Chain A
Amino acid sequence: MAVATKTAPAVAEDRELLISGSEAVAEALALADIDVVTAYPIRPYDTVMQAIAKKIANGQLVAEYIVAEGEHSQFEVVKHASTVGARVFCGSSGVGWAYAMECLVVTPPLRVPMVAMVGNRALDDPGAFGVEHNDALFVRDLGWMLVWIDSSQEALDTTLIGYRLAEDRRVFLPLAISADGAFLTHSQALTLVPPKAKVERFLPPYNRGDLLLHPDNPITVAPQANEDWVIEIRRQNNEAMARAVIVIEEAYADFRTIFGRGPENPWFEEYMTDDAEIILVGMGTISLPIKVGIRNMRAQGKKVGLVRLRWFRPFPTDRLVAALSKASVIGVIDRDYSFGSPFGSGVVANEIRAAMYNAPKRPPLVSFICGLGGREVTLEDVYKVTDLCYNAAKTGKSDTKTHWLGVRE
């Protein structure tokens, strides 16, 4: 259905550009030839909105660019555009994402394959701009697919993979790509931008098929229903999420074949985990200080590794359990909070606890909350995390306390 096909540069090879994570998403949107994009400014998501506007102004992308009066309308407009067959993009941050909540809720049951970028931002109050993951995690139970990225390259690649995945008829679910505010949205890095010809081989046109809202396919979308219908609709959504697991594996494999890069394991990145005694787990750009810290600690003989989780929904339970079971201790660093949760842990730590419940080997798990509101996660924090994990290794028991790091005490 994508209509803008005439403006892509006819370059056969990848170009190397110095662009931010948000600009990399915009590059991917031009390559994916999106049809409708809606915008309402909120930092740090607004960086992608500006980048798309520039692309349209420069004639590099032909798309409807609709400035809404708020996030609620912003997400509602793309939802409708998608049902009539448009490839759409949208996004927000923090409380802007929260303001769109009613529309975010209806998108998965209507099977709208929207791709959205969440520029992760702390929720109000206090009004703050720094990164926290609680905004995107709002929709974790609702049928949204959730992925976290940590580089401009991954931003571009994941956006292309995202459309391929979301628009697969077996899936037809929305995807939110989470990019850490400032650390990724505002950091420019050297990024390979593929030629359009490669993208066309990878990403077929969006075909809404039997769900297309069109005079030739008269259907009613979202009628009122009573208790005789709702659980069946939830069951359908559950099935689509289960099928997404297969489609993610397929999409990454095809991406590697066509573009010659990309991870073999779509679900998470493993860094120095082969012989690791301590495996740290985190999502997003927290990977940078952890990787540097790991290298420094390895120089001192400490066998530490990192599992950087990309896909949170669908959650890669089996593969993650297999990877983490190798460790003597698991240390999970959450850039989010869940007040009053089991052990007072963040969301990722408790998901991993739940995933490990049936594992034959369950290493002790220590949970951390760190870097909230965009606070820097320092190398010292990483060393302290590792030390506390080694303490647990000595006792062989999970630490029932959640450690808050980098807090003035």
Chain B
Amino acid sequence: MSALICEVVYRGIFQKNLASRITRGIVLSARKSGRWGIAFGRYGDSPQRNGIPAKDFAIVADTKEELEQNMARYEPKHVDVTICVDDTLAKGVESWAWYGLQPINRLTLPNGTLLMTSLQPFEDLLRDIHKKDEPYTLAVIRARASFSGLWVYKEDHTEVRILGALAKIAPEFLTLDGVCQAIGEMEWGSELKVASVRKAYERLEARQIQPGEGNAEVPYAFELPRWWEMREGVTIPAIPIGKPKEGGKGYVPERNPYFKKFTTRTMRPVVDFDTCVKCNLCWIACPDSCFDVMPDGTFDANMEACCGCGVCEAVCPVESCITMVNEAVFEDNASQWDMWRKDKTAYKTWLTDKITNKKATVRSHGFRFRGQYEEEIKTDLDAGGAEITAGIPGENAKHKTI
């Protein structure tokens, strides 16, 4: 008796359909080798919210009894394979208040696999992924965060490439033939997609990660209060008023210490304090009150509070004063203003490096122009990207059952 438990960590809205297609694919592929399975979604916050980290699961087992045994809880506590289809989630996820920061590999079993789509080198990913006490395998399919689950975007084959990779990771449950059969015959009905499965199977990159290897940060965590410790009347204390910065100047608002929300962020604002005209607009427009007012009257986006919505960039009247940059190129949440004050020349170099990086400043979640995603996907072809096909993923099959 044995079972394979997989989780898919994805970003709400953007990848909701993609994630469910992956988990369905796992079950349908395993079924081709006579396995039983179930695919299901769980969520802390709503997967309908933009960018909120959410999860889908797939369990396949030899017998119905073993499947039930693994289903008799709200969601799996340990998984054989963690699948992450957006590498900005490598820094961890926080989908609800009091969850704390949960490392992306938190549920991955010893000697299990973290399977990611990413264009980053392993060492860059490991600066984000928290260290573990047990070894595991980091497997990477070269691809950017996929949007093909959204009906307005084109196919990029991410879901079948993940399945092809799984055939290599867990061949005892998902044989390559089983996956190809499922893709060819069932909901997908596409030979082109079968080819993508085989390519992913061959091109999968994997590396053994040793205990202690990875981001050494201790993720913040909370104890949930007992029923008699909680306030009555479904009430919580309001967030207190904030405090001025040094010398009684500036202003830093208090923030919810139990829900920082920054794992929702896929891009972050980079601020040029030298060109800031102190107009207040970013501070006023920010829906999360993430800007701290500095003693000199400039505004520092607090990276513990920023969800990365980009409203500040949109309202800033100064060219290139606020620029949204992909989260993947940052390694910590340190204050940009402190960096700037310490060494203005060094900050200018750092800033220029970030905001002139074309790959990092294109919108990763939401686009500047029609067709941007298709262009990007094509340019990724050399790195193992997929052909773009017309139509809606999973909607072309003659054999589609739902």
List A residues at the B interface (Cβ < 8 Å).
109-112, 172, 210-211, 218-223, 225-229, 231-233, 235-236, 239-240
Contact = CB atoms under 8 A, between A and B. Distances in A.
Given A232-B226, A232-B227, A236-B227, A226 B234 contact: no
Sorting the interface of chain B by its residue count into under 10, 10 to 19, 20 to 34 or 35 or more gives 20 to 34
Contacts of A226: 44-45, 96
Interface in B205-260: 224-228, 230-238, 240
A235 B227 contact: yes
B233 A172 contact: yes
Given A226-B44, A232-B227, A220 B233 contact: no
28 contacts: A109-B233, A109-B234, A110-B233, A111-B234, A172-B232, A172-B233, A211-B232, A211-B233, A211-B235, A219-B231, A219-B236, A219-B238, A220-B235, A220-B238, A221-B234, A226-B45, A226-B96, A228-B96, A228-B224, A231-B227, A232-B225, A232-B226, A232-B227, A232-B230, A235-B227, A236-B228, A236-B230, A240-B232
A81 to B, nearest CB: 15
Given A228-B224, A232-B227, A236-B227, A219 B237 contact: yes
Given A226-B96, A227-B74, A228-B224, A236 B232 contact: yes
10 tightest A-B contacts by CB? Answer: A218-B238, A111-B233, A232-B227, A235-B227, A211-B233, A219-B235, A222-B234, A220-B236, A109-B234, A221-B235
Contacts of B226: 232
B232 A111 contact: yes
Given A228-B98, A228-B224, A223 B230 contact: no
Q: Interface on chain B toward A: helix, strand, loop, or mixed SS?
A: loop
Interface in B76-93: none
Given A232-B227, A235-B227, A223 B232 contact: no
Given A110-B234, A219-B235, 12 more contacts: A109-B233, A110-B233, A111-B232, A111-B233, A111-B234, A219-B238, A220-B235, A226-B44, A226-B96, A228-B224, A233-B234, A236-B227
A218 B237 contact: yes
Interface in B44-69: 44-45
A221 B237 CA distance: 9
Chain A CB within 10 Å, residue with most, of B98, B225, B227, B237: B227
Contacts of A172: 232-233
Contacts of B45: 226
A236 B238 CA distance: 21
A226 B225 CA distance: 14
Contacts of A112: 233
Contacts of B238: 218-220
